[in-house]
Amino acid sequence: MKKLLLLPLCLLIVNHSNAQILINEIDPDQTGSDVAEFIELYNSSASSISLDGYELVLYNGSDNASYANYPLDIYSIEANGYFVIGNVAGADISLSSLQNGTDAIALYKDHPNSFTNDTPLTLDNLVDAVVYGNSPNEVLLTLLNADEVQLIDDTETSLQRDTDGAGGARNTSAFVSRTPTPGASNSTATNSYTPKTEKIKVIPNPFYNDIRIESSRKIKAIHLFNAACNQILKNNNSIDGYIETTGLKAGLYILQVDFFDGNTTTQKVIKK
C-alpha cells in the first residue's frame, strides 16, 4: 500500500503575510460542462509587479502531485490589479483544466526546479495556496497555514476572498461563496451566499481522549480521518459536539464537521 508522506509540522508556520500577489478567487465547478473555470490573482500593492519567477501549480488530491503548471514570467499585474488564468471572457491566459476537487492551487516564486506533471507537493518558495473539495486531504492542507480550512465549492458560485486580498497568504478563512467576478473587485459581487467554511473551536487541541467542538451552527455529524485520509471515526449523533477517541494512536488527524445547513468544515487536530 502506498504511504503518504507527512510533511514536518514546523513547515506549516512559514509566514508569507507580506505577500503582494495572492490567489484571490477560483471557480473550478459550474453547472453541466465546466466551461467557465478560472483562477484570479490579485496585486495588493500600490505598484505594478512583474510576474517574472512566478509559477501557478495545480495539485491532484488523488496522489498529491502536480497535474498542470503555468509559468508567468512574461506577464505583470498593475497596481491593485488582477490577472486571470481561465476560460472566461477577458482572461489573460487560457486554462487547460481545473479539476473539481479534492485538489489544490499553489503559487510559487523563484522555485529552483521546474514543475513537470506529477511533481510531488512542496512548500519551498510557496507564496499562496487554496485547497478545495469535499473530502479532507491532510497532505494538501499543509499548503495552508495552521488551522486554516479546506473550502467547499458548488456549481453556482465561485470561492473568493471577502474583499480583495483579505486574509493574507495561505489563509482561507476569509473566503466566501459569491457570484463569480473574474478580473473585477470581489466587493462588486452580488447574490452573496453563506460562506462555505465555518470556524470551529476544538477543545482541547492537542487532545488525549474526548474532543468537544464548539460552533455557532447546529452540528449534524463529526468525522475523523487518519493521515492516509481514511475515515476512522464517525459520530452521526453529534448535537452535543463530542467525539470519543480512546484507543487512537498519537499523531495528526483531520476532523470534519458537517452542519445541518449543508456546510462542512475541516481542521487539523493532534492526539498526544
Which residue pairs, CB below 8 angstroms and at least 24 apart, start in 244-248?
244/209, 244/210, 245/207, 245/209, 245/210, 245/211, 245/271, 246/209, 248/224
Threshold 0.95, pTM exceeds? no
Sign of torsion, CA 264 56 138 36? Answer: positive
User: In this model, does residue 145 exceed pLDDT 70?
Assistant: yes
- Is a pLDDT exceeding 60 seen at residue 4? no
Q: In what order do the strands lie in the sheet with 65-71?
A: 65-71, 54-60, 103-109, 126-132
What the block records as the C-alpha cell of 131 is 485547497
Average pLDDT over residues 37-51: 96
pLDDT score of 78 more than 60: yes
CA atoms in the 13 A half-sphere facing the CB of 134: 6
192-211: average pLDDT: 72
Work out the pLDDT band at 18, boundaries 50, 70, 90: very low
User: Quick check: 17 pLDDT over 70?
Assistant: no
**Residue 265 pLDDT grade (very low, low, confident, very high; cuts 50, 70, 90):** confident
Domains of the chain are: 20-188 (2.60.40), 201-271 (2.60.40.1930)
Q: Report the percentage of the chain scoring pLDDT > 70.
A: 87
Work out the mean pLDDT of the chain and round it to a whole number: 83
Q: Mean pLDDT over residues 185-194, rounded?
A: 64
Beta-carbon neighbour count of residue 263 at 10 Å? 17
**Confidence bin at 236 (pLDDT 50/70/90):** low
Give the residue with greater pLDDT, 258 vs 196.
258
pLDDT in tens, 109-133: 998 888 989 999 999 999 999 999 8
pLDDT reported for residue 110? 92
